[in-house]
Structure 1
Amino acid sequence: MRKILLFLIGVVIIVGAIWGANVIIKNNNKPKPEVQKIVKTVFTETAQNTTVPIVIHAQGNLIAKNRMELYAEVQGVFQYSAHDFKTGQAYGKGETLLRLDASEYYASVQAAKSGFYNLVTSLMPDLRLDYPEAFPVWQSYLNSIDINKSLPPLPEGSSEKVRYFITGRGVNTSYYNIKNMEQRLGKYGIAAPFPGVLTEALVTKGTLIRQGQKLGEFIDTSVYELELSIAKNY
């Protein structure tokens, strides 16, 4: 009787296991519910890259971009200016800011030019006899010399013998000494390199100006620079 009871219990367990397995299989085979897709409407706009200016409210010192401190490179009496050499006076480009009396130095330059002319003249007889091919060139150069104007450049293209002869007579040395004097003569006047205004005037007409003396300051009033302190977030 006991064996029969155990057999029946085993049969019931097996049948129950089979039934449970079938239930699980059926549940897995059920179709999954479809998820309905929701489409959201989004408004878009085409991006256009542009430069966004930064506006900064600040204060600072305004400085002229073009400014020139005036110093005397030579000594002489302040003789002339295109306008009153005073603070606030405006000058146009090329107008004379100031000119020193150069009459004494000018006479020295003229004397040196006259001496150079005589030196070249003294070479002509020797050039005619010893270097006839160079004579026309130097004759033309001699005729082009005007002591009231800047010396013309020395002739080029001469032979080596002619160059030795000219150099040995001191022509080159005399020529470059005079060119140096002409450059220095130009320093007796200062012209405005751009239109502007005198912001400082330290001398007056008739006073003796010494070499290295500061004369004033001249600025261009059309272009300025502004120095500002900008925060890190900019």
Structure 2
Amino acid sequence: MLRKIILSVLGVALIIGAFIFANYLIDNKHKPKPVIPKVVKTVLVDTVKNTTIPIVIAANGNLTALQRVELYSEVQGLFKTGSKLFKPGQKFNRGETLIRIDASEYYASVQSAKSDLYNSIAAIMPDLRLDFPEVFQKWQTYLNGFDLNKTTPKLPEISGEKENYFITGRGIVSAFYNVKNLEQRLTKYRIIAPFSGILTEALVTEGTLVRNGQKLGEFINPSIYEMEVAVSKSFADVLKVGESVTLTSLDNTKTYEGKVSRVNGSIDATTQTITAYIAVEHSDLKEGMYLEANLNAEKVENAIEIDRNLLLDTQEIYVIKDSLLDVIAVRPAHFSNTSVVLRDVPNGTIILRKPVPGAYAGMHVKAASNSDKTSDSIQ
């Protein structure tokens, strides 16, 4: 009996507790939800002020010597020691001997041919005295001035048809040109510096047997260099010879002034670019040095330049109107790696200076105050 009473009391208590808990849940359901405060982002802004923007084309390349000679041998022989070593870095003045190849054997054959020419002319002198006394003296003067140790002088001018037949028939003219041909080849045993410069490559050393057609080295003029750059074909009509160009070293520590020396007349069909050549002179420059060039191509009137990340894919930019973001259509005039030039954006328009993550039209924003030095006019 007692057990039934206890169970009844517990049942009633459970029902009363459930009723109280249900009322508690109902009361909490009608409580107002907390209001989440609206976040207003502070953004960096600029005020548009249109002006003239110069278009600067960025390009880069390596320096090469404007005057360069690849040295090849046209004859065969032993490389003889000269007054200066034939080594990379060795300087030579214009007219100095770069390479001397032993020509003693060939020189003897040249002297033999010159002696034969002299003897041939001397053999016809008695006949000239008898048959052509009027031309005898000029040939006698030629013989008197003939020196085997000097370059063979030009033959006297033949004045008449009979004299021409006589001289040609004796083989004098053919012997003369044979000697001149040998003398011309003899000069190839000695390579002369065509300008003052420096050796950048030496592939042979003194005592080496040099063969015909063998490359011997490279010789450059280190006072003036040239850089080849590829520029978009859209600037083909604005690149002009003589335009000044600022060249910057890779570490941006030094700048050099160059000029456009040549512009290629054709466009590369593969890359659709045109090649321009920039000449530059400076004692610090070396061949192979990598430089960046800024070429002044043209000027865009009534334009501004902004960060390229501010331009949307839809050719629009964000502007601020009554603390809300909005978008306006723009006309890009030029793209660079980091910026874009826009035409005809209305003066006084307030635009973003830096991109805002998650930005959208209608977003509430607050322009940073001027005291923070974050707002300024853009041009």
Task: Mark yes or no: TM-score above 0.5.
Answer: yes
Structure number with greater CO (CA < 8 Å, separation at least 6) is 1
TM-score by length of 2: 0.46
- 1:224 aligned residue: 225
Q: Aligned to 2:134, what secondary structure does the other structure show? A: coil
Aligned residue pairs total 183
2:78–2:102 contact (8 Å) kept in structure 1: yes
Q: Matched residues in 1 for 2:137 and 2:75: separation?
A: 40
Q: Which has the higher strand share?
A: 2
- 1:176 aligned residue: 177
- 2:105 aligned residue: 104
Q: Matched residues in 2 for 1:117 and 1:152: separation?
A: 11
**Aligned-residue offset at 1:115:** 1.0
- 1:124 aligned residue: 125
Residues 1-234 of structure 1: pairs in structure 2 closer than 5 A: 58-230=59-231, 234=297
Letter of the 2:216 partner, please give it: L
**Aligned-residue offset at 1:81:** 2.9
Question: Over residues 16-35 of structure 1, what are the superposed CA-to-partner deviations in whole Å (9 max), with x where a residue is unaligned?
Answer: xxxxxxxxxxxxxxxxxxxx
Please tell me the root mean square deviation across aligned C-alpha atoms, in Å: 1.8
Q: CA, structure 1 residues 229+163, in 2 after alignment: closer, same or farther (shift >3 Å)?
A: closer
Question: Can you give the 5+ residue segments of structure 2 that lack an aligned partner in the other structure?
Answer: 1-52, 236-296, 298-379
**Aligned-residue offset at 1:55:** 5.7
Q: Matched residues in 2 for 1:68 and 1:106: separation?
A: 27
Q: Which has the higher helix share?
A: 1
Structure with max Cα Rg? 1
Question: Over residues 62-94 of structure 1, what are the superposed CA-to-partner deviations in whole Å (9 max), with x where a residue is unaligned?
Answer: 111110100000111101333111111111111
Moved more, 58-67 or 168-177: 58-67
Q: Matched residues in 1 for 2:221 and 2:70: separation?
A: 12
Letter of the 1:113 partner, please give it: K
Q: Aligned to 2:183, what secondary structure does the other structure show? A: helix
Q: Percent identity?
A: 61
Q: Matched residues in 2 for 1:134 and 1:119: separation?
A: 17
Q: Matched residues in 2 for 1:55 and 1:83: separation?
A: 47
**Aligned-residue offset at 1:132:** 1.1
Q: Matched residues in 1 for 2:198 and 2:108: separation?
A: 33
Letter of the 2:184 partner, please give it: Q
Question: Over residues 128-168 of structure 1, what are the superposed CA-to-partner deviations in whole Å (9 max), with x where a residue is unaligned?
Answer: 11111111111111111101011111111422101100100
2:158–2:164 contact (8 Å) kept in structure 1: no
Q: CA, structure 1 residues 54+104, in 2 after alignment: closer, same or farther (shift >3 Å)?
A: farther
Q: Aligned to 1:114, what secondary structure does the other structure show? A: helix
1:82–1:98 contact (8 Å) kept in structure 2: no
TM-score by length of 1: 0.74
1:82–1:97 contact (8 Å) kept in structure 2: no
Q: Matched residues in 1 for 2:166 and 2:68: separation?
A: 49
- 2:313 aligned residue: none
